[in-house]
Chains A and B, each alone.
Chain A
Amino acid sequence: MESSTIVGAERKKRTKSTIVLIVLALLIITAFVVSMNTGFTKLSPLEVMRTLFGGGTAKQELILFEFRLPRIVISVLVGAGLALSGCILQGVSRNALADPGILGINAGAGLVVMLFVSFFPTTTAAPVFLLPILALIGSGFAAFLIYILSYKKGEGILPTRMLLTGIGVAAGISSAMIVLTLRLSPEKYQFVATWMAGSIWGSNWKFVTALLPFLIILVPLVLYKARVLNVLNLGDQTASGLGTPVERERLILLAAAVGLAGSCVSVSGGIGFVGLIGPHLARRLVGPKHQFLLPASALIGSLLVLVADTLGRVILQPSEIPAGILVAIIGAPYFLYLLSKTK
C-alpha cells in the first residue's frame, strides 16, 4: 500500500518535471521567434516564417540566415553548455555556489583566446576551429591549477577552499589579461573588450560548426552520468559504499564541465552566472534528481542567454549590450540572494 503511494508520488513528480521541460522548450521557441524579429531591421513574424520556408526576399534571407539565425543558435548552445557545466560543478563539489565563472575556468579560457586574438587576425577560417581548442587548453589549465592548489593531503578538495582558490586564480588571470589589453590597438581593444564582456560575437555558422562537436560529445556523456551525480550528492562515503569509484567519476565529470565551459566561452566570451542561475532555478522547478535537473538546467541556460542577447540588441539601439553584462546584472543579485539564504 505504502510503496504504491511512493510510486504514485514519484510518477506525479515525473509528470510535473516533464511538463516543466516542455514548457521551457516552448518558451525557448517563443524567444527564438521574438529574437528573429528583433534587431536593426524589423521583420514581422509572418515575414520570418515566410523566409524560413524559402519565400523571402534576398535581403530578408541574408539577415535571417547569415546574421540572426547563427547568433540565436549559438546563444542557445552556449547557454545550455554553461548551465550544464555549472550543474556538474555544483553536483561534484556539493557546493551550491559553484559556477565556471566564479571558479576562474572562464578566465582561463579567456586568457588563451585573448592571447591568440592579440597576436593573430581573427578573420581567417582556420582559427575559428582552433578557438574552442585553445579555450579548452586555457580552462583546463585554470581548472588544473585550482585542483592542485586546493588539494590537501588527507583532506582532499574542500568546497570552501576550492571556491576561495578559484576566486584567487580568477583574480590572477584577470590581472594578466589587463597587462595584455594595454598593448592592443584601439580597434582590437574594442573587440577584445566586447568579447570579454560576454558578447555573442561569433555570429556566423562557422562558429556553430566549431562548437557543435564538443557539445555533441559532452552533452550525452553528462546526461548519461546523471545517476552518478545523484550518488555523488549523497557524500563521498555513501557513494563509495554504493560501489561508485568516486575519484575517477569526479575527474571525468570535472573534465566534462571544463570542456563544456571552455568551448562555450571561446565563442561567447565571459558570460558568468549562467552556470549558477540555471541549475538553481532548475532545482526549484524539478527537484534534485539529475535526470531532470540536467536537461532543465540546460534549457533554462539557453533561455537566459537567448533572452539576454535579444534584449541587449534592443535596449540601446543602435549599439548593443553584450549578453554577459545583462546576465551579470541579473545574475549577481540572484547570487547574493542565494548567498544570504544558504547556511
Chain B
Amino acid sequence: MNSQASPEKHNPDSPTAKIHTRPWAATLILTGGVLLLALGMALSISFGAADIKLSVVWKAIFDFNPELTPHQIIWEIRLPRILGGAMVGACFAVAGAIMQGMTRNPLADSGLLGLNAGAGFALAVCFAFFPGLPFMYIIMYSFLGAGLGVLLVYGFGAASKSGLTPLRLVLAGAAVSAMLSALSEGIALYFRIGQDLAFWTAGGVAGTKWSQLEVMFPWVLAALIAGLLISRSITLLSLGEDIAVGLGQRTGLIKLIGLIVVLILAGTAVSVVGAVGFVGLIIPHLTRKLVGVDYRWIIPCSAVMGSLLLVFADLAARMINPPYETPIGALVALIGVPFFLYLARKERRTL
C-alpha cells in the first residue's frame, strides 16, 4: 500500500474519514516481530547468572535431557520467566490498545487508569488475609480488583456533564490509584508484608512458574481471541460512537466485551508481573504510527510489540547491574514517562 499515505492521524469528527491501513507494514511487523521475539527469547534464555550457549538452549528445548543442569535451569527457571514476560507484554499492550480505541482517549493505559492499582490492592488483600492462596484464585481476585479500579475511574470520570476528557480520566485515574495504593500500603504496613509486595509491585517476571503460566494461558488466549473478534467494531468505535451506531454496531455490547477483555488482560498481567505501567500507553501509539488505524492490525501487532518490549526490558533489567535485577516497571517507566509527557504536551483539550 501507499506507505506515505496521508496523515495517519484519524479525524474522528469527520464521518468521511477513511481508515488508513498499511497491511504490508502490519504483516512485516507480525512476521519480523515474531522472529525477533524468538531471537530475543533465545538470547534471554542463554544470558544469566550461568551463561548458556545458544546451541545448548536449542538442545534443551528440542532435545531435553533432565540429567543436565543447564537443561534444568532452562526448563525450570528461564523458560517460564521468558514466556511469562512475553505474555504479560502482550496483555498490557492489547489492553491499552483496546482502551484507547474504545474511549478514543490517547492517554488510556491500564496503569494510568487505576486498573493496575486495583489489581494491586486485590493482591495486597490476598497476601495479607489468605496467604498461600492458589494462583488460580489470585488471578481471579486480580480481575475483580482491576474491575473495581476501572469502575471507580470511569464512574467518577463520567459523572460530570462535560464527559470524559483525557485530562479528567487521567486525574480520576490518579486519584483512584492514590486511594487504592493507600489502602494497599496500610494493609502492607500492618501485616508487615511491605517488602514482599514491593518486590512484586516493582514489576518482575523472575519468579514465574510453569503452574502460573498454565493458569494464565487459557485466560489470556481467550481474551486475545475475543479482542481480535471485536477488532473491527473497535475500529468503528474509534471513529466515533455516532458513526459506529450508524454503521449498525451494537456499541453497548462491544464496549462490554471490550471492557471484560481489558480486565482479564490487565488483571492477569498485574498478578504475574506487578504494576508495570506505560506498556499499554506506548505500544499502541507506536503500532498506530506503523500500521495505521485499523484495529484488526493494531491488536495483533500490539501483542507482538508488547511482548518484544517486555522480553527485551527483562533482558536489560538483568544486564544493567548484575547480579541485581533492576525492576522492570522502573525500566519501562524510564521510556514511558517521557513518552507520556510528550503526549501530554500535545493534548490540547482542556478540563
Contacts and interface: CB of A to CB of B under 8 A. Distances in A.
Interface string A159-190: 11101110111011001101101110010011
In the complex, which range does the number of interface residues on chain A fall in?
A: 35 or more
The B interface is mostly helix, strand or loop, or mixed, namely helix
A152 B345 contact: yes
Contact of A161 (B107, B168, B334, B345): B345
Contacts of B112: 167
B327 interface: yes
B182 interface: yes
Most-contacted residue by chain B among A95, A328, A329 (CB, 10 A): A328
Contacts of A168: 337, 340-341, 344
Given A159-B350, A163-B167, A189-B195, A329 B337 contact: no
The A interface is mostly helix, strand or loop, or mixed, namely helix
In the complex, which range does the number of interface residues on chain B fall in?
A: 35 or more
Interface in A297-336: 316, 319, 321-322, 324-325, 328-329, 331-333, 335-336
B179 interface: yes
B160 A178 contact: no
A172 B201 CA distance: 15
Given A168-B341, A181-B198, A340-B156, A193 B179 contact: no
B183 A161 contact: no
Contacts of B91: none
Most-contacted residue by chain B among A152, A172, A196, A342 (CB, 10 A): A172
A9 interface: no
Contacts of B344: 150, 161, 164-165, 168
Contacts of B93: none
Contacts, number: 158
Nearest to A172: B337
B280 to A, nearest CB: 14
Given A164-B344, A336-B152, A182 B175 contact: no
A199 to B, nearest CB: 9
A172 B159 contact: no
B329 interface: yes
Interface of B: 107, 112, 152, 156-157, 159-162, 167-168, 170-172, 174-176, 178-179, 181-183, 185-186, 188-190, 192, 194-195, 198-199, 201-202, 277-278, 324, 326-327, 329-330, 333-334, 336-337, 340-341, 344-345, 347, 349-351
